[in-house]
Amino acid sequence: MWWLLALLLFEPLSQSKLSIHLIGHYTGGAKKIIAAGPRVIKVLDPQANSQMVEAIRDYKSRYPNGIVVMRVWERTPQVRYQITDDPISCADDFWHKILEPAVNRLSPSDRKLVDFLEGPNEGENTPTWESVEAARWFGRFWERLAVLIAKAGFRPCVGSIAVGNPPGSIEEIHAKLDAFVPALRAAKQFKGAWSYHAYSLEYTTDMKVEIWYSLRYRLFYEFLRKRHPELADLPIILTEGGIDKGGNPKTDGWRARGDAKKFQAWLEWFDLELRKDKEVIGVTLFQIGDPQGWWSFEIEPVSDWLASYLASAK
């Protein structure tokens, strides 16, 4: 029986929800982590980086049921859309200028290894959460972009919501999410997911604090269960995560504000919380492979620990 043969040939994925966001180089530490069987990985620009392609191939050869998320970083000149622009036309423009050329540079066999495709990152290109009107624009944009991603053979990963967003009171958060619901419906229609960037700003395990930051996605699901229960089972991928005060590559990550022991303890706590939420596929910790660009965030110094932790959770 083929399914029994598959079980014998391939190791199971880790039950941990921790993983890595790969950038630049497929390091020795990243190879150990991938060998340990994370549930999901994220890669930046595999169409332009053979090392990212190597990572994807390595991962999928070992764990064909593992999930790969691809992000494309748009080079200059960066596109930027305004709220006065038509969101449907902007989605078409973003697809044709940024995403389509990137995925077309992958070989047909490598394209098949990518499961989810992200779009604009953290509102860098579009109106997002500045107002309910902006959230409605963003929802229409993603409703269209999800269609284009699905037609190309990928599952859409919508949102890429920056930590602490949507901003405002609970009522304001709910109003903005309500405006964004068309994008969530499209994500579900095409077997996609949505994404949030789950950082702790204060390097704490205080639930009263983290519900607004690393665990803010729980507020989203409370809203969905109350207002849109048909969407409450939509999966979410935390496509960035870890420790970040304000985004400074040298001063705001885990290394600049603690040591390996402190970070590992926080990750263990975070993983236990994520495992409580079945909607969460996993978190791809930012980042591994670019210590010069993102020194204080670099996962390589704890890669042996993380690989061992993942392997022990099988």
Q: Is the pLDDT of residue 79 over 80?
A: yes
Q: Which domains does the chain have, with CATH numbers?
A: 19-312 (3.20.20.80)
**Stretch among 1-5, 68-72, 309-313 having the lowest mean pLDDT:** 1-5
Dump pLDDT digits (tens) for 8-56.
567 899 999 999 999 999 999 999 999 999 999 999 999 999 999 999 9
Task: Say what the pLDDT of residue 77 is.
Answer: 63
* Cα distances (Å, whole numbers) of residue 81 to 87, 93, 178, 183: 8, 10, 22, 17
Dump pLDDT digits (tens) for 151-171.
999 999 999 999 999 999 999
Q: Quickly state the pLDDT bin for 76 (edges 50, 70, 90).
A: low
SS3 68: strand
Among candidate residues 97, 89, 134, the one with its CA nearest the CA of residue 119: 97
- Percentages helix, strand, coil for the chain (3-state, rounded to 5) are 45, 15, 35
Q: Which two tokens stand for residue 56?
A: 């994807």
Q: Is the pLDDT of residue 2 over 60?
A: no
Q: DSSP character for 190?
A: T
**Cβ proximity of 70 and 41 under 8 Å:** no
Among candidate residues 223, 229, 268, 263, the one with its CA nearest the CA of residue 243: 263
Among candidate residues 253, 257, 262, the one with its CA nearest the CA of residue 291: 253
Distance CA 194, CA 172 (A): 20
Q: Is the pLDDT of residue 109 over 60?
A: yes
Distance CA 133, CA 172 (A): 12
User: Do you find a cis peptide bond into 287, omega within 30 degrees of 0?
Assistant: yes
Give 109-113 contacts, CB < 8 A, sequence gap 24+.
Answer: 110/46, 110/53, 110/56, 110/57, 111/153, 112/153, 113/56, 113/57, 113/60, 113/68
What is the average pLDDT across 91-119? 97
Q: Quickly state the pLDDT bin for 74 (edges 50, 70, 90).
A: confident
Distance CA 191, CA 193 (A): 7
Number of neighbours of residue 66 by Cβ within 10 angstroms: 22
